Chains A and B, each alone.
Chain A
Amino acid sequence: QSALTQPASVSGSPGQSITISCTGANSDFGSYNLVSWFRQNPGKAPKVIIYEVTERPSGISHRFSGSRSGNTASLTISGLQAEDEADYYCCSYADGRWVFGGGTKLIVL
């Protein structure tokens, strides 16, 4: 199965908002709203920041939000901060399998 498609990199200046897209085929998302987003800093384990498309786990800043339209899920980070620089991965469930996106490197200028 192929990975979900994410842009290789996205950049923004402190204070700005950025959006990372995650696109897949119908079969990658199914009829479920089970899209998660993870942040990974170099040499560290991933950390969940969004689950079930729009939900934020306890302790995750309101600056992070998720959405989905058809076969594209999106992660928006508002009020960009230097510490947001990391790799971001989407992940979706469909029909008995989970699939990750290829990952997006967020560069804070």
Chain B
Amino acid sequence: QVQLVESGGGVVQPGRSLRLSCAASGFNFNDYGMHWVRQAPGKGLEWVALLWFDGRDEYYEDSVKGRFTITRDNSNNTLYLQMNSLTAEDSAVYYCGRDPMITGLIDLWGQGTLVTVSS
């Protein structure tokens, strides 16, 4: 079955860290760029980060630069998002999505994992 499954969300205190995972199955993970996109409760979509097929190039939204790191393990078909120095503004559902040509054609999304930053 072609799918993406996020995990790792939860409640975390401000200033702490969390690592999200996105497990891919049913397709050749190596062939796709991968995005993280988040959505705060009741708000719109916000792009977070992108990692190229081979992990060579990575891009970040300004507010997470220096705090978040996107990585991938192509041997285990898994994408990660390491999130450090979390603030309340990082509270959101985090989605991973695949992009075959890195043109914004995010044609498969996970179900999302909720991160709540609160003391």
Contact = CB atoms under 8 A, between A and B. Distances in A.
Given A46-B106, A103-B45, A97 B112 contact: no
Contacts of B37: 46, 100
A52 B107 CA distance: 13
Contacts of A55: 105
B33 to A, nearest CB: 11
A36 B59 contact: no
Contacts, number: 69
Contacts of B59: 96-98
A92 B104 CA distance: 7
B44 interface: yes
A105 to B, nearest CB: 10
Q: Indicate the size class of the contact surface on chain B.
A: 20 to 34
A18 interface: no
Contacts of B45: 38, 40, 46, 89, 91, 100, 103
Q: Indicate the size class of the contact surface on chain A.
A: 20 to 34
19 contacts: A3-B46, A34-B103, A34-B104, A36-B103, A36-B104, A40-B45, A45-B95, A45-B112, A46-B95, A46-B97, A46-B106, A51-B105, A52-B104, A57-B107, A89-B44, A97-B62, A98-B50, A99-B47, A100-B45
Interface of A: 1, 3, 34-36, 38, 40, 45-48, 51-52, 55, 57, 87, 89, 91-93, 96-103
Interface of B: 35, 37, 44-47, 50, 59-62, 95, 97, 103-107, 109-112
